[in-house]
């Protein structure tokens, strides 16, 4: 265990209506075993004692699975460590004396609510548009009625591991939500249970994604690089192909 | 005091639920849309209940404090979900799951509830598979199972180490399907502050919009609380930072009884505490005990590198003491034994508050690839947090507060003593007795939400006149005023200590005096300390910012204020229960071998507490536990 000192440049913005800007703080004697969010906790305790308002940031489970936390650190969504959410990023990954620029996700689809907190309800609306199998409680047959190839089930899982944090959007130069949307489309269409509604699902979800004013995909692969669950861009390719087929089917 | 009536149906245990369903009242399908139901919380219980109630045709309003219903803390459950499918053909049955759960709970739960839970467990797996939950499968395409603590069959279904996530996303998808249809109205970033009770009946809630600070009122024909447990009373726990007691505590203050609050589960396999800045403790799934062997050095203060300690100088204490269950003893036993060896000075790591969980043998036996398939994400998470690689070095683990078996009292229909107030999932006290077995929380949450509440709530609503829900009555105005005043009070103290400082102080006190082991002296000290901390809180807390926008300090302050009141009730309960059972271990009551010593003559009951004013001893109501099917026995896992 060792201690480091850091300079933080943090985006502060009172609410969605007012303009924001960077404030500079020092984070002193930071234990390198701390998580990034614990470092922010320490800074917030200090700000409170100084009579200032602490930095607002979303967080909950602090074990990398709820998808609530996230910020851009020195231009990288969730910081420098691959496959890691902010809460699982530990301070041993930073050097003494470093300056860290900390910003919220930036996208038209994610309006800022305060400081590092953004409104990601667009993701919920994309799921509501079709990101499910429309089975009602009680309708299910025995779980073993339909065997599922292990390969398909594993691929479905890889896509289903998405935590909906929004890092893919934040990392994309076009603020595209293709990886998020594709992960759900691909998760469900890899399973026999999800095939029935697959054509309608992909059309509805893509339409909603466009309505939410997310940008288009231009194959930068930044989303995959930033994704804390390392979800592959191959799912985007699959979604595009499903979308084309579904559109063709709808016409003919 | 009249005894509480749990309304357990008559008849043989195995027929109770079937008979009950066949005879309870129904709401006409054409009338269902006239009924308003409020669901607070969107974890496995709340999410599944809200989706199912909406499918049935009710008008449902759903509230969660997170930014999306998909983030509720059920998402962090790792290991799995139990069901008595008997797919592995190893002798499982509804009865066996029922019996294991009753025994695991140290004979302090209701037979009828637990039997029903085991009965519907299979339906849950069917439902989740149909929703697209990607459970682990074998190459033939069928579902894989593994074993968990307290059972000798493999009945746990899992989705890598993220079972809770996948089940919750299933429930969330079902919920969003209903949002899309317009049958559910979703209120994210909204926290329930008050329950509104009119003439003894729950009629709605008061909420705060966490973005704008607006205090709002919502009326309903029934209110369902699915707001989880209170393990954050210990400050450091495996729960999400936002998990809190506020909704059930404020309902308790309005008359709902709090049952068995001293039954708290300390999970044996968590990453140990390593600094005073620490914000949470991370769980390492119990499933790791399938392949990991727990040990400490035989000699106290042995500071050698674990790999330099020869086999004969290691004490695999769980295997030694409990040869038939070995490393898979129930959680309370595994935790208490870890504390015991650390108290003897044989703990490891820099603080001496840790034991090894060693995978060396499993690596030799099965190879790295197999272990990575089973536990890869857990090993990665461990390495990210600690900087140590469990493929090379044994993990270090220590118990941490994890789950709370206690909660609001409910009858067989999952309704509290306040008509119209239903409580499901971890927020109620119902199914786990004094100790919950691994992989049973997910089962209970989804059983309540998908397969129990949707039936039983109809029985209540059939007797309520529809369309009467209105906030235009004095009780709503009063509750709203009270909520506003409390917020103003918190914002105007402007003292010298932060909310977190108070939470830390309370948590440490509760961990030391009302944690893994308790005694009368310590509990009495805790009562006077809680009183002092609470008094200081209301004079010296500093809550910066305003009440009219997003203010996370204010949110935490309200929750910590409630923990400071609730903690007392928990201690009163622990003090009054002069026996040891499951997660409640009173030092004064143990067998010569150091196991929990129950007192069935005096304490074979549910302790349901009635609020009697802040700082005053609550009033005890007893619901006797009648065991018709199982024979009360000293638990034996040897």
Nearest residue in chain A measured CA to CA from B43: A66
For residue A57, the model assigns a pLDDT of 98
Contact B408, B255 (CB under 8 A): no
Tens digit of pLDDT for each residue in B141-174? 999 999 888 889 999 999 988 999 999 999 999 9
Contact between B165 and A65 using a beta-carbon 8 Å cutoff: yes
d(Cα B556, Cα B502) in Å, to the nearest integer? 11
Residues 348-407 of B with CB under 8 A from A: 380-381, 384-385, 387
Tens digit of pLDDT for each residue in B396-430? 999 999 999 999 999 999 999 999 999 999 999 98
Contact between B134 and A187 using a beta-carbon 8 Å cutoff: yes
* CA distances, A13 to each of A16, A60, A111, B212, B550 (Å): 8, 21, 12, 15, 11
Nearest residue in chain A measured CA to CA from B188: A121
Q: Which residues of A196-207 are buried (b: 16+ CB within 10 A; e: fewer)?
A: ebbbebbbbbbe
The pLDDT confidence band at residue A250, using thresholds 50, 70 and 90, is confident
What DSSP letter does each residue of chain A carry, written as one string? --EEEEEEEEEE-SSSSS--EEEEEEEEEEETTSBHHHHHHHHHHHHHHTT-PPPP---SSSSS-S-----EETTEET-SSTT--GGG-BGGGS-TT-EEEEE----TTS-EEETTEE--HHHHHHHHHH-S--PPTT----TTSS---HHHHHHHHHHHT-----HHHHHSTT-B-HHHHHHHHHHHHTSHHHHTTHHHHHHHHHHHHHHTT-B---S--HHHHH-TT---THHHHHHHHHHHHHHHHHH-
In this structure, whether the domain defined by B267-401 belongs to CATH 3.40.50.300 is answered with: no
* Structural domains of chain A sorted by starting position, each given as residue range(s) with its CATH number in brackets: 3-103 (3.10.20.30), 121-251 (1.10.1060.10)
Nearest CB to A132 within list B160, B173, B500: B173
Contact between B381 and A156 using a beta-carbon 8 Å cutoff: no
Pick the closest to residue B73 from B425, B421, B380 (CA basis): B425
Residues 81-120 of A with CB under 8 A from B: 81, 83-84, 88, 90, 92, 113-114, 117, 119-120
Structure tokens at B7: 């309304």
d(Cα B607, Cα B623) in Å, to the nearest integer? 7
- The backbone region for B498, taken as left when phi is positive above 0, alpha when psi lies in -120 to 50, beta otherwise, is beta
Torsion, CA B190, CA B192, CA B197, CA B198, rounded to 10: -20
* CA distances, A104 to each of A31, A56, A77 (Å): 24, 10, 9
Q: Which residues of B touch A228 (CB under 8 A)?
A: none
Nearest residue in chain B measured CA to CA from A113: B211
Contact A167, A210 (CB under 8 A): no
| Residue B2 pLDDT exceeds 60 | no
- Any CB–CB contact under 8 A between B7 and chain A? no
Nearest residue in chain B measured CA to CA from A47: B544
- Any CB–CB contact under 8 A between A79 and chain B? no
For residue B127, the model assigns a pLDDT of 98
Note if B365 is an active site residue.
Answer: no
- Any CB–CB contact under 8 A between B160 and chain A? yes
Sheet containing B264-270: order of strands: B264-270, B395-404, B355-358, B293-297, B314-315
What's the whole-number mean pLDDT along residues B14-30?
97
d(Cα A129, Cα A106) in Å, to the nearest integer? 23
Q: How many CB atoms lie within 10 A of CB B30?
A: 8
Contact B231, B253 (CB under 8 A): no
Tens digit of pLDDT for each residue in B61-95? 999 999 999 999 999 998 899 999 999 999 999 99
In this structure, whether the domain defined by B475-603 belongs to CATH 3.90.76.10 is answered with: no
For residue B633, the model assigns a pLDDT of 84
d(Cα A105, Cα A122) in Å, to the nearest integer? 13
Contact B589, B518 (CB under 8 A): no
Contact between B277 and A150 using a beta-carbon 8 Å cutoff: no
Tens digit of pLDDT for each residue in A157-212? 999 999 999 999 999 999 999 999 999 999 999 999 999 999 999 999 999 999 99
Pick the closest to residue B146 from B268, B288, B271 (CA basis): B288
Q: How many CB atoms lie within 10 A of CB B312?
A: 6
Contact between B70 and A54 using a beta-carbon 8 Å cutoff: no
Q: Helices B520-540 and B552-576, interaxial angle, to 10°? A: 160
d(Cα B61, Cα B223) in Å, to the nearest integer? 10
- Any CB–CB contact under 8 A between B67 and chain A? yes
Nearest residue in chain B measured CA to CA from A189: B132
Which of these is catalytic: B70, B96, B331, B534? B331
Contact between B387 and A92 using a beta-carbon 8 Å cutoff: yes
d(Cα B130, Cα B231) in Å, to the nearest integer? 33
The three-state (H, E, C) secondary structure of A133-183, written as one string: CCCCCCCCCCCCCCCCCHHHHHHHHHHHCCCCCCHHHHHCCCCECHHHHHH
Contact between B498 and A48 using a beta-carbon 8 Å cutoff: yes
Q: Taking all residues of chain B, what is their mean pLDDT, rounded to a whole number?
A: 96
Question: Could you tell me the residue ranges of all domains in chain B?
Answer: 267-401, 475-603
Residues 35-74 of A with CB under 8 A from B: 35, 37-38, 41-42, 45, 48-49, 51-54, 56, 58-68
How many pairs of residues across A and B have Cβ atoms under 8 Å apart? 215
What's the whole-number mean pLDDT along residues A224-243?
98
Structure tokens at B1: 């005091």
Supply the Cα-derived Rg of chain B in whole angstroms: 24
- Any CB–CB contact under 8 A between A187 and chain B? yes
Tens digit of pLDDT for each residue in A168-183? 999 999 999 999 999 9
What's the whole-number mean pLDDT along residues B621-626?
96
d(Cα A106, Cα A20) in Å, to the nearest integer? 13
Q: Which long-range contacts link B177-181 to residues 24+ away (Cβ below 8 Å)?
A: B177/A128, B177/A132, B177/A134, B177/B51, B178/B50, B178/B51, B178/B54, B178/B55, B178/B60, B179/A124, B179/A128, B180/A128, B180/A129, B180/A130, B181/B54
Q: Which residues of A touch B387 (CB under 8 A)?
A: 33, 90, 92
Q: Which residues of A touch B553 (CB under 8 A)?
A: 48, 54
Contact between A140 and B242 using a beta-carbon 8 Å cutoff: no
**Mutating which of B124, B176, B497 best tests the A interface, going by the most A Cβ atoms within 10 A?**
B176
**Chain B: nearest CA to A19, how far in angstroms?**
16
The pLDDT confidence band at residue B3, using thresholds 50, 70 and 90, is low
Nearest CB to A144 within list B67, B142, B176: B142
Contact between A88 and B126 using a beta-carbon 8 Å cutoff: no
Contact B394, B356 (CB under 8 A): yes
Helix and strand numbers, DSSP H then E, in chain B: 17, 20
Nearest residue in chain B measured CA to CA from A115: B550
DSSP-based three-state secondary structure for B225:
strand
Sheet containing B201-209: order of strands: B190-198, B201-209, B215-219
What's the whole-number mean pLDDT along residues B473-487?
97
d(Cα B283, Cα B397) in Å, to the nearest integer? 9
Q: Which residues of A touch B176 (CB under 8 A)?
A: 124, 127-128, 131-132
**Mutating which of A82, A110, A127 best tests the B interface, going by the most B Cβ atoms within 10 A?**
A127
Q: Which residues of B touch A124 (CB under 8 A)?
A: 68-70, 176, 179, 186, 188
Contact between A143 and B282 using a beta-carbon 8 Å cutoff: no
d(Cα B42, Cα B178) in Å, to the nearest integer? 14
Residues 6+ apart with CB under 8 A from B27: B35, B458, B461, B462
DSSP-based three-state secondary structure for B396:
strand
| Residue B388 pLDDT exceeds 80 | yes
For residue B637, the model assigns a pLDDT of 80
Percentage of chain B lying above the pLDDT 90 cut: 90
What's the whole-number mean pLDDT along residues B602-620?
97
- Any CB–CB contact under 8 A between A160 and chain B? yes
Exposed / middle / buried, residue B508 (Cβ in 10 Å: 0-12, 13-18, 19+): middle
What's the whole-number mean pLDDT along residues B248-267?
97
d(Cα B155, Cα B143) in Å, to the nearest integer? 11
């Amino acid at each position: 265990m060792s201690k480091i000192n850091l300079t933080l440049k943090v985006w502060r913005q009172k609410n969605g209506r007012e303009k924001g800007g960077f404030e500079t703080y020092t984070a002193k004697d930071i234990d390198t075993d701390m998580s990034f969010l614990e470092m922010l906790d320490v800074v917030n305790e200090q700000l409170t004692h100084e009579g200032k308002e602490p930095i607002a940031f979303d967080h909950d489970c602090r074990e990398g699975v709820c998808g609530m936390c996230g910020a851009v650190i020195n231009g990288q969504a969730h910081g420098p460590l691959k496959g890691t959410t902010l809460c699982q990023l530990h301070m041993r990954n930073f050097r003494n004396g470093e300056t860290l620029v900390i910003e919220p996700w930036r996208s038209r689809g994610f309006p800022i609510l305060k400081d590092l907190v953004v409104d990601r309800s667009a993701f919920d609306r994309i799921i509501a548009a079709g990101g499910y199998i429309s089975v009602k409680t009680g309708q299910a047959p025995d779980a073993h009625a339909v065997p599922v190839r292990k390969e398909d089930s594993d691929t479905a899982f890889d896509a289903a591991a998405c935590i909906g944090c929004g890092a893919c959007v934040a990392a994309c130069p076009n603020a595209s939500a293709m990886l998020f949307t594709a992960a759900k489309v691909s998760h469900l269409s890899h399973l026999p249970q999800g095939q029935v509604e697959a054509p309608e699902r992909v059309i509805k979800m893509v339409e909603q994604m466009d309505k939410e004013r997310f940008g288009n995909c231009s194959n930068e692969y930044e989303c995959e690089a930033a994704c804390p669950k390392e979800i592959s861009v191959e799912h985007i390719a699959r979604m595009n192909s499903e979308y084309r087929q579904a559109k063709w089917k709808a016409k003919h | 005091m009249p005894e509480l009536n749990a309304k357990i149906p008559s008849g043989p245990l195995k027929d109770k639920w079937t008979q009950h369903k066949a005879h309870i009242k129904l709401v006409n399908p054409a009338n269902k849309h006239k009924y308003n139901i409020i669901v607070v919380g969107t974890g496995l219980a709340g999410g599944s209940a809200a989706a199912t109630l909406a499918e049935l045709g009710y008008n449902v309003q759903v509230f969660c404090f997170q930014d999306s219903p998909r983030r509720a803390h059920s998402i962090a459950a790792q290991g799995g979900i139990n069901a008595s499918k008997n797919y592995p053909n190893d002798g499982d049955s509804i009865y066996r799951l029922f019996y294991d759960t009753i025994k695991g709970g140290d004979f302090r739960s209701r037979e009828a509830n637990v039997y029903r839970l085991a009965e519907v467990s299979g339906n849950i797996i069917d439902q989740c598979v149909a929703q697209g939950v990607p459970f682990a499968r074998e190459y033939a395409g069928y579902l894989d199972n593994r074993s968990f603590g307290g059972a000798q069959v493999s009945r746990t279904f899992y989705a890598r180490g993220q079972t809770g996530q996948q089940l919750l996303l299933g429930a969330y998808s079902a919920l969003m399907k209903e949002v899309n249809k317009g049958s559910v109205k979703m209120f994210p970033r909204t926290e329930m502050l008050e329950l509104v009770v009119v003439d003894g009946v729950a009629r709605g809630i008061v909420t705060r919009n966490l973005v704008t600070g607006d205090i709002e009122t919502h009326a309903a024909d029934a209110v369902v609380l699915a707001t989880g447990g209170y393990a954050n009373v210990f400050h450091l726990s495996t729960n999400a930072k936002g998990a809190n007691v506020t909704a059930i505590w404020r309902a308790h203050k309005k008359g709902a009884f709090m049952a068995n609050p001293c039954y708290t589960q300390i999970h044996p396999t968590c990453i140990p505490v390593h600094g005073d800045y620490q914000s949470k403790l991370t769980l390492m799934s119990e499933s790791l005990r399938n392949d990991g062997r727990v040990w400490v050095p035989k000699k106290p203060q042995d500071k050698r590198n674990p790999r330099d300690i020869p086999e004969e100088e290691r004490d695999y204490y769980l295997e030694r003491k409990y040869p038939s269950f070995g490393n898979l003893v129930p959680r309370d036993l595994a935790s208490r034994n870890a504390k015991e060896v650390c108290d003897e000075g044989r703990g490891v790591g820099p603080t001496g508050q840790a034991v090894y969980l060693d995978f060396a043998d499993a690596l030799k036996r099965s190879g790295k690839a197999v272990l990575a398939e089973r536990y890869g994400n857990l090993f990665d998470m461990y390495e990210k947090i600690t900087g140590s690689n469990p493929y090379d070095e044994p993990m270090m683990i220590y118990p941490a507060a994890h789950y709370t078996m206690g909660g609001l009292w409910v009858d067989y229909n999952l309704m509290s003593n306040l008509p119209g107030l239903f409580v499901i999932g971890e927020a109620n006290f119902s199914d786990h007795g004094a100790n919950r077995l691994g992989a049973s929380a997910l089962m209970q949450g989804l059983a309540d939400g998908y397969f129990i509440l949707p039936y039983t709530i109809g029985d209540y609503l059939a007797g309520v006149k529809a369309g009467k829900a209105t906030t235009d009555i004095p009780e709503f105005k009063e509750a709203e005023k009270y909520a506003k005043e409390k917020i103003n009070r918190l914002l105007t103290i402007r003292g010298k200590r932060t909310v977190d400082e108070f939470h830390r102080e309370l948590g440490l006190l509760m961990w030391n005096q009302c944690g893994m082991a308790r005694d009368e002296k310590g509990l009495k000290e805790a009562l006077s300390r809680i009183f002092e901390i609470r008094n200081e809180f209301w004079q010296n807390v500093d809550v910066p910012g305003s009440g009219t926008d997003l203010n996370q300090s204010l949110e935490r302050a309200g929750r910590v204020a409630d923990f400071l009141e609730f903690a007392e009730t928990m201690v009163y309960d622990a003090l009054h229960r002069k026996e040891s059972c499951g997660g409640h271990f009173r030092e004064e009551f143990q067998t010569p071998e150091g196991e929990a010593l129950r007192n069935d003559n005096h304490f074979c009951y549910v302790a349901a507490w009635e609020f009697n004013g802040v700082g005053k001893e609550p009033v005890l109501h007893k619901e006797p536990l009648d065991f018709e099917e199982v024979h009360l026995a000293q638990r034996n896992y040897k």
